[in-house]
Amino acid sequence: MTRCKYFRFKKLFGLAASILAAVLFSGVVYGLSRSQETSTDTLEQDDRLIAQEIGSHSQLEQNLRYLAAHMPGRLTGSPRMDAAAAWALQKFQEYGLNASLETVDVPHAWTRGVETAEIISPIRRSIPVHAFGWSKSTGGPVTGKVVALAGKTGPELKRYFGKVKGAVLMVGEPQHLPPGTPENSFIAVKAEEDDLHQLSPEELKEREDALQELISEGPLTVLLDSRKPHNLFNMGNFTNFTPSPIPLAFILHEDYMRLFELSQKSSVSMKIDLEGSFSPEAAHAPFVTAEIAGSSKPAERVLIVAHLDSWDLAEGALDNGVGAMAVLEAARSLHALNLKPDRTLVFLLTSGEEQHHFGIKAYLKKHSAELPNMDGVLVLDGGTGSVINISLGHLEDTEPVFRKIYGPIAAVLHLQGPAKEAYFGSDHDEFLQRGVPSYICVQSPAHYAEAHHSQLDTLKYFDHRGANQAATVLAAWMWNASQTPDKIPRTSTK
């Protein structure tokens, strides 16, 4: 899930039916197309069978463990991301679906290299550091005085004009990390966002202009607060798959606080070495699609989406290996039940979500002719926690049809009513901007705040029950949306 903010040069969230009933019901219904109006009771029975199938035969965990072990740290453009996409294509095909792999080019792949940082005066102390994705290299160790920007507004930052050339620049004061347990994974990630929300749009513009001017002076590197507690890193990237104007790096929140305080009391010098490298040629950003063809309305399409790429500090198990494997499991379960949907079911795994939704933008550009027939989209990108509900967001006009789709799932899985809050920051944003009704699952936090973009994005926090429940929501929502007679109303382009 993409959640870093950037400044202007890119600124820096009762399941199973009885086995006997399942067998009898599947023998009567599945394998048949339902062109007639589908009742709520029928959809609820269908959703129970989907829950039964996933509960009894899920391959989600074994697939996720294979992905994490053999293809961890799936940076867009990297060999591991390419291998993950090829493997996912093979799994869809093994499950009996018609699947394909497409690629678009990015200017350069980026590989993390040596990363060291050390305070050399007035004390000597090494501190952990990680470069931004696609950060320019320092070209070897560089040494400079630390300049820590105190203040947020443009006038406050203008005090530093003429003082940052050749400096190690700390952009802003340490972040405030709110205490407590978040309600869901989106709120968990939002807590990491910077403290600029109190500024007006005009004040933000003044701040960005001042930062641009400071960057143009030529600091050696920029250090940013990781905005996570407990010595955890965060990660972000420069946007366009080319080297950033100057080297950029995160340091731990705790170190950022100490370094900022030290710089306010005395002159501080640091030595930093960031040795990331770029491929000399363009690299591939793949996306994998699989389909179950519709019977009576094959041109109309219902999609479930998750991104397969991840950051490289860890395995990428929760962000978003779980989501991708839940889409794969939804495909397996629906095909295993021999379902014959009215509308075509599309299962989509993207790359480049962590690079400002690059992959889904490319997909929608290549498939622009299909946009009018995309009847609804559901995205999973909140980690391993069970789904609490689905965000209706600003799509109030879709609520009557949405509830016909969602109600049976909520009854079977005991979900809360649709969330009225709008959550942004994943691939569903891009569908919304093109008028396609798109929703995202709201999930329990399940340690997502710790794992998100950090070195703890591993299988340590994997919850198979939560993940399988989320896969069930995806599969049931997709099936219900494919069978509901009324199409979800189109949305206005933002």
**DSSP symbol at 33:** B
What is the average per-residue pLDDT within 408-427?
A: 93
What is the average per-residue pLDDT within 346-368?
A: 94
Run of H or E including 201 = helix 201-216
- Contact of 288 with 85, CB cutoff 8 Å: yes
Considering the chain, tell me which residue range(s) the CATH 3.50.30.30 domain(s) occupy.
113-277
Q: Identify the band that residue 390 occupies on the pLDDT scale cut at 50, 70 and 90.
A: very high
Considering the chain, tell me which residue range(s) the CATH 3.40.630.10 domain(s) occupy.
13-108+281-483
Q: Identify the band that residue 9 occupies on the pLDDT scale cut at 50, 70 and 90.
A: very low
pLDDT of residue 2: 59
Quick check: 17 pLDDT over 60?
no
**CATH among 3.30.360.10, 3.40.630.10, 2.40.340.10, 3.20.20.10 for 13-108+281-483:** 3.40.630.10
Quick check: 493 pLDDT over 50?
no
Nearest to 490 by CA among 427, 440, 436, 439: 436
CB atoms within 10 A of CB 414: 10
pLDDT of residue 189: 66
Mean pLDDT of the chain: 89
User: Does domain 113-277 match CATH 3.50.30.30?
Assistant: yes
Q: Which residues pair with 98 in a beta bridge?
A: 291
Identity of the amino acid at 177 = L
Nearest to 76 by CA among 274, 276, 237, 249: 237
Nearest to 6 by CA among 280, 286, 224: 224
pLDDT of residue 362: 94
CB atoms within 10 A of CB 205: 13
Residue of 292 and 6 predicted with greater confidence: 292
| 432-490 pLDDT tens trace | 999 999 999 999 999 998 999 999 999 999 999 999 999 999 999 999 999 999 999 98
- Contact of 335 with 97, CB cutoff 8 Å: yes
Range with the lowest mean pLDDT among 104-118, 177-191, 239-253, 349-363?
177-191
Quick check: 6 pLDDT over 80?
no
* DSSP tally for the chain: helices H, then strands E: 14, 19
As given in the structure block, the two tokens for residue 369 are: 């002719």
| 225-265 pLDDT tens trace | 999 999 999 999 877 899 999 999 999 999 999 999 999 99
Q: Identify the band that residue 124 occupies on the pLDDT scale cut at 50, 70 and 90.
A: very high
pLDDT of residue 284: 93
What is the average per-residue pLDDT within 324-345?
A: 97
Quick check: 31 pLDDT over 70?
no
As given in the structure block, the two tokens for residue 443 are: 């999930």
Quick check: 18 pLDDT over 60?
no
Q: Identify the band that residue 151 occupies on the pLDDT scale cut at 50, 70 and 90.
A: confident
pLDDT of residue 297: 97
Question: What is the largest distance, in Å, between two alpha-carbon atoms of the chain?
Answer: 79
**DSSP symbol at 320:** I
pLDDT of residue 24: 26
- Contact of 151 with 204, CB cutoff 8 Å: no
d(CA 183, CA 143): 43
**DSSP symbol at 133:** B
d(CA 208, CA 6): 10
| 183-193 pLDDT tens trace | 777 666 665 45
d(CA 321, CA 307): 8
As given in the structure block, the two tokens for residue 306 are: 């998750």
Quick check: 14 pLDDT over 70?
no
pLDDT of residue 194: 57
Helix residue ranges, H only, 154-200: 154-157, 185-190
| 296-311 pLDDT tens trace | 999 999 999 999 999 9
pLDDT of residue 177: 78
- Contact of 46 with 476, CB cutoff 8 Å: yes
Angle between helices 19-29 and 40-57 (to 10 degrees): 120
Quick check: 428 pLDDT over 70?
yes
